[in-house]
Amino acid sequence: MAFVILWVGLILESTLFQIPPINLIHPGFVLVTLVLIALMRGPNTAVLFGIAIGLIQDVCYGTFIGLNAFCYGVIAYFAGALFSQFLHRNLAITFLTSMLFSFIHTWLTYGLTRLFDVTAERWPYVLSQSLVAMIINGILTLMLYPLLTKLFTPRQRSRYDASQTEG
């Protein structure tokens, strides 16, 4: 189910949010979903999903293969590792972590594309874009949190069925 949601998020990012005037707002559905998967399922699962969806994004839409797979994998791992440090997982921690990793993701992709001389963007532009991405992904996190936590939270299995207890 999580991979289907990541896939739909990738399709929305790549199609609907590329049409003017909607393209002014570019939410990171994949990034926010990966952060929530890291919260609910842990870093190992999130890394696998991050690398898989990043590789799909690289093959279909990327300038070179491996950029998004690497960045999503790193973000998913460290988001899961950061979440494991907190005893209480709530909306505020998820909101702040999502905004933080949105900022880090923008700078990580910028750094790698600059390293391989794929982009000529300057750091002030990237700073403004990363701040806008933080705000948009923070709002997206607030909108998706209730739905995705219900979907991704593992169900607790009880050993005994309450309806079959004998009185």
pLDDT digits (tens, 9 = 90+) for 8-67: 999 999 999 888 888 888 899 999 999 999 988 999 999 999 999 999 999 998 888 999
HEC profile for the chain?
Answer: CHHHHHHHHHHHHHCHHHCCCHHHCCCCHHHHHHHHHHHHHCHHHHHHHHHHHHHHHHHHHCCCCCHHHHHHHHHHHHHHHHHCCCCCCCHHHHHHHHHHHHHHHHHHHHHHHHHCCCCCCCHHHHHHHHHHHHHHHHHHHHHHHHHHHHHHCCCCCCCCCHHHCCC
Domain assignment of residue 125, yes or no: yes
- Tell me the pLDDT tens digit for each residue of 107-137: 999 999 999 988 889 999 999 999 999 999 9
Range of the domain at 103: 34-153
21 in any annotated domain: no
Domain count, the chain: 1
Q: Does 11 map to a domain?
A: no
Is 28 contained in some domain?
Answer: no
Q: What is the pTM of this model?
A: 0.87
- Evaluate whether residue 29 is within a structural domain: no
Is residue 5 included in any domain, yes or no?
no
